[in-house]
Amino acid sequence: MTTNNEFDYSGKKLVHGPVRAFKHHPVFSGLFVMAFVGFILLAIYRFSVGLGLTGLNDRTAWGLWTALKLSLVVVSGCAFTLTGMVYIFKMERYRPLVRSAALVGLLGYSTFSITLIFELGWPWRIIHPIWMHNYHSILFEVAWCVMLYLTVLSLEFIPNILERLQKFKFLKTFNKATPTLVIAGIILSILHQSSLGSMFVIAPFKMNHLWFSPWIGPFFIISAVFCGFAMVILIELLMAAFDRRQPHLKLLNELGRYSVAFLGLYLGFKIVDILGRGSARQAFAASDIHTFLFFVEIGLGIVLPIILYANRKMRRSPKGLALTASLVILFGGVLNRFNVSVTAIDHSPLGYTPTFIEYIYIPLILVLVAGIYVIITRFFPILPALDPLHSAARTPDK
């Protein structure tokens, strides 16, 4: 894999190097600097004052930051989906996208861990599951799966470092272990994706039954797949624009087609689940804010993307792909996790209203992570090869 200090096949000079890349994007550069400073100040304030600056209380321990964590996990599904396609199913044509997907997963789970530290009342207890084993707790299984999967993602990043340092002998040896790491990562990812959903199964009387379901674990797994595809599509299109190169439209086109199957599977199971449970039908007939948000989630995040992805003209257009992938992520992924962890939960008797600190943390951390992603891609061979040999991969199907 080549680094991104080359010319693309159109002959235009690419933006390369962290300084030059940020120089060509002054607005993003300014946002990144402000996010970095704001995050440091927010961290100092949070760990000085405590959780009293949030809307959380003794009856509502999970709030907006939990929704953010679940959203980070669902879009980080791009790591296990793409690595599985390349290393397990031998779909080699997707290899140009696999390192970027793995990096997004690594950054997503790292951000998950940082957010968890912010959210814990006693953050130093984040390491307790290592030696305090509550085998009857779903969170215990989630904690261990996340720790192990973050370790696997870190190990999967090592080839980028070895290639950057030109340690090809070690790289060749390490690459032999990559399929084993990928299999371990897929197992761990599927386990904790389903377990994160299964946590809510223990609260049938605390959740709105539009989202409560005995099948919420499989719903989380399926949504991680199509949100993972959408994240790969969106990242490749954004970075192609950022680096002033052509995206791999043919590969993204195929991912859009695959997404139709998983979105349709999710929608079908959701319909069967709603119709099969009387409590869900009653919640559906309530015609309140929950019903409205459910319609927005399913309509804009599932049904509309199926229609758009199924349209060949939309798939052949970078703007069409970007729009569809954004709808899947924002409504099929993020809104779903927000509804499950916040909207659907009964917060009585104390109630829950997120504070300004909880809201401002989200854009700060997301801009910060986006900047870190760009910096890493300047130093390591993460992004697709940019030589003329790969130009065919950028041509959409006819």
Domains (range + CATH), the chain: 18-382 (1.20.1630.10)
Q: Is the pLDDT of residue 395 over 60?
A: no
When pLDDT is averaged across residues 355-378 and rounded to a whole number, the result is 95
When pLDDT is averaged across residues 297-323 and rounded to a whole number, the result is 96
- State pLDDT tens for residues 43-54: 999 999 999 899
CA 133, chain centre distance (Å): 28
When pLDDT is averaged across residues 265-284 and rounded to a whole number, the result is 88
Those residues whose C-beta lies under 8 Å from the C-beta of residue 26, and which sit 6 or more positions away, are none
Give CA angle at 309 (195, 102), nearest 5°: 45
pLDDT score for 283:
79
What band does 351 get if pLDDT is binned at 50, 70 and 90?
A: confident
pLDDT score for 26:
86
Taking residue 5's Cβ as centre, other Cβ atoms within 10 Å add up to: 13
Handedness of CA 331, 337, 339, 343 (dihedral sign): negative
- State the number of CA atoms in the 13 A half-sphere of 371 facing the CB: 21
Burial level of 330, CB count in 10 A (0-12/13-18/19+)?
A: middle
Query: Cα(101)–Cα(226) distance, rounded to whole angstroms?
Result: 13
For 260-292, give the DSSP string: HHHHHHHHHHHHHHHHH-HHHHHHHTT-SHHHH
Q: Is the pLDDT of residue 318 over 90?
A: yes
Query: Cα(344)–Cα(254) distance, rounded to whole angstroms?
Result: 35
- State pLDDT tens for residues 120-148: 988 998 889 988 888 888 889 899 999 99
Q: Is the pLDDT of residue 222 over 50?
A: yes
Query: Cα(241)–Cα(244) distance, rounded to whole angstroms?
Result: 5
pLDDT score for 393:
39
Q: Which residue has the higher pLDDT, 354 or 135?
A: 354
> To the nearest whole percent, how much of the chain has pLDDT over 70?
91
Considering only CA atoms, which of 301, 367, 364 is closest in space to residue 65?
A: 364
pLDDT score for 389:
35
Mean pLDDT of the chain: 88
Considering only CA atoms, which of 120, 96, 113 is closest in space to residue 149?
A: 113
Handedness of CA 305, 308, 312, 313 (dihedral sign): negative
H or E element in which residue 235 lies:
helix 216-243
Considering only CA atoms, which of 85, 340, 383 is closest in space to residue 228?
A: 85
- State pLDDT tens for residues 36-81: 999 999 999 999 999 989 998 888 888 999 999 999 999 999 999 9
Q: Which residue has the higher pLDDT, 276 or 220?
A: 220
Q: Under DSSP, is residue 3 helix (H, G, I), strand (E, B) or coil?
A: coil
Query: Cα(278)–Cα(113) distance, rounded to whole angstroms?
Result: 38
Those residues whose C-beta lies under 8 Å from the C-beta of residue 151, and which sit 6 or more positions away, are none
Q: Is the pLDDT of residue 116 over 80?
A: yes
pLDDT score for 134:
86
- State pLDDT tens for residues 320-331: 999 999 999 999
When pLDDT is averaged across residues 359-380 and rounded to a whole number, the result is 94
What band does 237 get if pLDDT is binned at 50, 70 and 90?
A: very high
Q: Is the pLDDT of residue 354 over 60?
A: yes
Q: Which residue has the higher pLDDT, 7 or 94?
A: 94
pLDDT score for 20:
65
Q: Is the pLDDT of residue 276 over 50?
A: yes
pLDDT score for 21:
66
User: Residue 11: which region, alpha, beta or left (left: phi > 0; alpha: psi -120 to 50)?
Assistant: left
Those residues whose C-beta lies under 8 Å from the C-beta of residue 360, and which sit 6 or more positions away, are 38, 42
Query: Cα(337)–Cα(343) distance, rounded to whole angstroms?
Result: 9
pLDDT score for 313:
93
What band does 16 get if pLDDT is binned at 50, 70 and 90?
A: low
